[in-house]
């Protein structure tokens, strides 16, 4: 089997023994928990669209290992066209879910680990790439959702991993034996962790020799003994427990983050892809970050499409759609959103092959893409809130709207255009609230700032990749300056 159906994906999660804590309680069934379920629905969409003939060209690819059709989320990019299709696929899924669909981190991780392990083996004589290829083959054959785990808690940012007061604040090897390694530590902000089959761990920063115990990459089943999860809170998340569907905004889909804890996790050598090779840690971090910064030129744009459409509907329902300033705000939202998309496409089209044959995006343009993502979605959200009006955050509840006595007053006094039911107006305002302030804001607004690295991380990479000396030389030449 190379393609799972959405039903098979859900059933595969039911067979797992994930240890997840949410709001202080151990979750009995991750799949059916009302707070978690919407995020699983988003991942299911990546399986559903892959089996839809209308989207097959975007959602699937041909495995370079087996020649079989596979889900694109399990694919290593073989050319620039693959990189472009990735961004288009992410925009499509953002449009279909209005939320984070979570498989991007695993896709970005496998592409980064592939080229890095190939180059590591070639220089050091290790055998990591062969191990990784065996893992990738399994991932493709079984259509697995893999969580790419990079971000450590980090502790004191002024100290390196090896100088932390608590060494567990960076994932590390605590023991090696003939069978494998024992790992301790944690990964924070883990997107889609409890909807994943496997975890692919990577180092979070460039390591030095004294940090070699932390220069670590490996794969483990998401429900392996020694791994447990503490589910992250999101704004308005308990609305999912109320039983209605208006106040949640996005009725079906969502995203999630979790703290992933490793308590003496055993990893067999066959699943270890870096163990102490600190000189390649920076390469792996840089490449994963580049791929993931490219991703934001697709997924955030798709959710932005939904938000722009919701803002336009809010203007229609408010009777303000003909106002020139509203039209101009919608134009600005579209301009900003398409600029993000253009950056995602550009860094893809300018991609080039690595030594392993896997294509890497243009790192400079990928970082420019993500730098814009740290800004533009905030402005798009601000304009959406401006168009929506204050009712978006002062509106009574769904229970009030449907109350046998006071419902008629809510319906009467919160109606906008007479031809539009008050419930429709409430629904679209709650959707805007969800994307800009509620549960979806994690995968749109705030993640736009901190996902794939902070804004300063992108600026550092832009400085490294921008080739300022070359630009100086261009200016000297045209100015007739023949010496430095």
Q: What are the residue boundaries of the structural domains of the chain, listed by start?
A: 6-281, 283-473
Residue 189 has pLDDT above 90, yes or no: yes
Q: Residue 446 has what pLDDT?
A: 86
**pLDDT tier, 190 (very low <50, low <70, confident <90, very high otherwise):** very high
**How high does pLDDT run on average in the chain?**
97
- How does residue 442 score in pLDDT terms, banded at 50, 70 and 90? confident
- Indicate whether 374 pLDDT > 90: yes
Largest CA distance in the chain: 85
**Contacts (Cβ under 8 Å, ≥6 apart) of 41:** 97, 252, 253, 254
Angle of CA points 85, 285, 208, to nearest 5°:
165
* CA dist., res. 251 & res. 151, Å (int): 30
In contact, 150 and 205? CB cutoff 8 Å = no
Cα 183 from Cα 8, distance rounded (Å) = 31
Cα separation, 96 vs 55, in Å, equals: 12
Mean pLDDT of 65-71: 97
- Judged against a pLDDT cut of 90, whether residue 443 lies above it is answered with no
Give the span between the Cα atoms of 319 and 305, in whole angstroms.
21
Residue 378 has pLDDT above 80, yes or no: yes
**Confidence check: pLDDT of 1 > 80:** no
What tokens were used for 478?
Answer: 């045209």
What CATH superfamily is the domain 6-281? Answer: Butyryl-CoA Dehydrogenase, subunit A, domain 2 (2.40.110.10)
Q: Which residues of 163-185 are buried (b: 16+ CB within 10 A; e: fewer)?
A: ebeebbbbbbbeeeeeebbbbbb
Residue 483: what pLDDT? 86
| DSSP letters spanning 305-339 | HHHHHHHHHHHHHHT-TT-HHHHHHHHHHHHHHHH
Angle at 302 between CA 296 and CA 304, to 5 degrees: 90
What CATH architecture does domain 283-473 belong to?
Up-down Bundle (1.20)
Q: What is the pLDDT of residues 214-223, one digit of tens each?
A: 999 999 999 9
What is the reported pLDDT for 313? 98
The alpha-carbon radius of gyration of the chain (Å, integer) is 24
Report the percent of the chain where pLDDT is more than 70.
Answer: 100
pLDDT exceeds cutoff 90 at 433: yes
Catalytic residues: 100, 104, 191, 257, 292, 296, 299, 447
Q: What are the angstrom distances between the C-alpha of 98 and each of 88, 154, 250?
A: 15, 31, 8
pLDDT band at residue 408 using 50, 70 and 90 as cut-offs: very high
pTM of the model: 0.97
Q: Does position 113 have pLDDT exceeding 90, yes or no?
A: yes
Whether the CB-CB separation of 376 and 340 falls below 8 Å is answered with: yes
Residue pair 439/399 in contact by the 8 Å Cβ criterion: no
Q: Is 361 helix (H, G, I), strand (E, B) or coil?
A: coil
CA dist 429 → 217, 327, 336 (Å): 44, 18, 22
* Residue 267, token pair as written in the block: 């990893």
């Amino acid at each position: 089997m190379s393609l799972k159906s959405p039903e098979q994906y859900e059933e595969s999660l039911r067979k797992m023994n994930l240890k997840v804590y949410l709001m202080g309680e151990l979750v009995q069934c991750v799949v059916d928990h009302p707070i978690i379920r919407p995020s699983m629905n988003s991942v299911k969409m990546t399986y559903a669209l892959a089996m839809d003939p209308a989207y097959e060209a975007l959602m699937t690819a041909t495995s370079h290992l087996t020649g079989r059709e596979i889900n694109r989320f399990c694919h290593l990019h073989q050319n620039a066209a693959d990189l472009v299709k990735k961004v288009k696929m992410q925009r499509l899924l953002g449009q279909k879910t209005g939320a984070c669909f979570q498989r991007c981190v695993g896709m970005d991780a496998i592409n980064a680990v592939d080229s890095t392990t190939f180059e590591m083996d070639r220089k050091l004589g290790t055998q990591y790439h062969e191990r990784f290829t065996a893992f990738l083959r399994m991932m493709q054959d079984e259509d697995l959702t893999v969580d790419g785990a990079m971000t450590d808690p980090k502790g004191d940012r002024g100290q390196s991993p090896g100088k932390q007061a608590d060494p567990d604040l960076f994932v590390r090897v605590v023991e090696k034996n003939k069978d494998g390694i024992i790992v301790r530590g944690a990964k924070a902000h883990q997107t889609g962790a409890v909807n994943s089959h496997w975890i692919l761990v990577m180092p979070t920063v460039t390591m030095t020799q004294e940090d070699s115990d932390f220069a670590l990459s490996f794969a483990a089943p998401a429900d392996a003994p020694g791994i447990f999860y503490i589910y992250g809170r999101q704004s308005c998340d308990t609305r999912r427990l109320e039983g209605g569907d208006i106040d949640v905004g996005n009725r079906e889909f969502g995203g999630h983050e979790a703290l992933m804890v490793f308590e003496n996790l055993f990893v067999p050598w066959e699943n270890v892809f870096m163990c102490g090779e600190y000189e390649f840690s920076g390469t792996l971090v840089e490449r994963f970050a580049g791929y993931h910064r490219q991703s934001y030129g697709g997924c955030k744009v798709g959710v932005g499409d939904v938000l722009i459409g919701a803002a336009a509907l809010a203007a229609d329902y408010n009777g303000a759609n003909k106002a020139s300033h509203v039209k101009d705000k919608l134009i600005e939202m579209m301009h900003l959103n398409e600029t993000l998309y253009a950056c995602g496409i550009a860094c893809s089209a300018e991609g080039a092959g690595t030594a392993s044959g896997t294509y890497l995006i243009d790192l400079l343009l990928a970082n420019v893409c993500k730098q814009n993502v740290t800004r533009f979605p905030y402005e798009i959200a601000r304009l959406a809130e401006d168009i929506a009006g204050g009712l978006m955050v002062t509106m009574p509840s769904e229970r009030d709207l449907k109350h046998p006595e006071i419902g008629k007053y809510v319906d009467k006094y919160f109606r906008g255009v007479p031809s539009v039911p008050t419930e429709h107006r409430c629904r679209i305002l709650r959707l805007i609230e969800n994307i800009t302030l509620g549960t979806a804001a994690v995968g749109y607004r705030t993640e736009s700032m901190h996902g794939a690295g902070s804004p300063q991380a992108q600026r550092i990479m832009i400085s490294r990749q921008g080739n300022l000396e070359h630009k100086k030389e261009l200016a000297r030449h045209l100015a007739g300056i023949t010496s430095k």
